[in-house]
Amino acid sequence: MSRRILLLRTEAEQERTKALYREIFPEDSDAFVDYYYRKRPKRILAMEEEGEIVGMLHINPFSMSFFKKELTASYLYAIGTKKEKRKQGIMGELLRRAFSLLEEEGEPFCFLIPVSESIYSPYGFRTIGKLSLEEKPLEEIQKTVLYALPTKELLDRRAEEAALSDEEDELPEDPVVMLKILNPEAFRKLSGYTENTEDALLQRMAKERIYIIDVD
């Protein structure tokens, strides 16, 4: 059995994963999926087995404010495996490749919105707060230590995606945000924290105010 991880950058390359996306996330409307694949800036790590895409992980970059400093942090999205290929370590391989890639590129952390926290905690993700389910005024957002910069591009895209998404699109019950530290030294420098371990850093982070709104 031949298996390899591909880094898909172009729309044409990423199209190979669309059938798997529809299989794993049938609740997303066709209009949303088509728009997402055409318009959302992203890279996709795809597991190919004998020429077939059997797993994927989407890396969606966001311009963030982190303790009043601007940086890029990636939101890991649409992490999934074909039903018959689950429990074979594919998700773990994709996550580890994503961590290595983003660390090499200098990102201090990445984040995701889990279906279940227990899936991602073995990979170093820790819950740092609740997902915001409503828009807040900019002056309130700016009081938090972590939020996506409300650029015109982001706001326009968010409005277009909201118009294409069904109201029934599912989020986990009581959704949370989980964060994984990729570069502890950079994380400490940016945050001003001095804790020695990643767990201790994230425990302190969980006491801060954050503002992450639905980023699907």
- For the cut 80, the answer to whether the pLDDT of residue 214 exceeds it is no
| 163 belongs to a structural domain | yes
CATH code at position 102 = 3.40.630.30
Amino acid at residue number 37: Y
Query: How deeply is 196 buried, as exposed, middle or buried, from its count of CB atoms within 10 A (0-12, 13-18, 19+)?
Result: exposed
Residues 6+ apart with CB under 8 A from 76: 57, 58, 59, 60, 95, 98, 110, 111, 112
Question: The pTM is what?
Answer: 0.93
Long-range contacts of 123-127 (CB under 8 A, 24+ apart): 123/92, 123/95, 123/96, 123/99, 123/180, 124/180, 124/181, 124/198, 125/178, 125/179, 125/180, 126/178, 126/179, 126/180, 126/199, 126/202, 126/203, 126/206, 127/176, 127/177, 127/178, 127/206
> Residue 203 is part of which domain span?
3-211
| 216 belongs to a structural domain | no
Cα–Cα distance measured from residue 44 to residue 46, given in angstroms and rounded to the nearest whole number: 6
pLDDT tens per residue, range 124-169: 999 999 999 888 999 999 999 999 999 999 988 888 887 887 654 5
- Name the β-bridge partners of 70: 65
Q: pLDDT category, 100, cuts 50, 70, 90? A: very high
pLDDT tens per residue, range 11-59: 999 999 999 999 999 999 999 999 999 999 999 999 999 999 999 999 9
| 144 belongs to a structural domain | yes
| 26 belongs to a structural domain | yes
Q: Are 39 and 157 in contact (CB under 8 A)?
A: yes
| 32 belongs to a structural domain | yes
Residue range 83-108: average pLDDT? 97
What pLDDT is attached to residue 133? 84
| 92 belongs to a structural domain | yes
| 83 belongs to a structural domain | yes
Query: How deeply is 150 buried, as exposed, middle or buried, from its count of CB atoms within 10 A (0-12, 13-18, 19+)?
Result: middle
* Joined tokens for residue 210: 């954050």
Report the number of distinct structural domains present in the chain: 1
| 13 belongs to a structural domain | yes
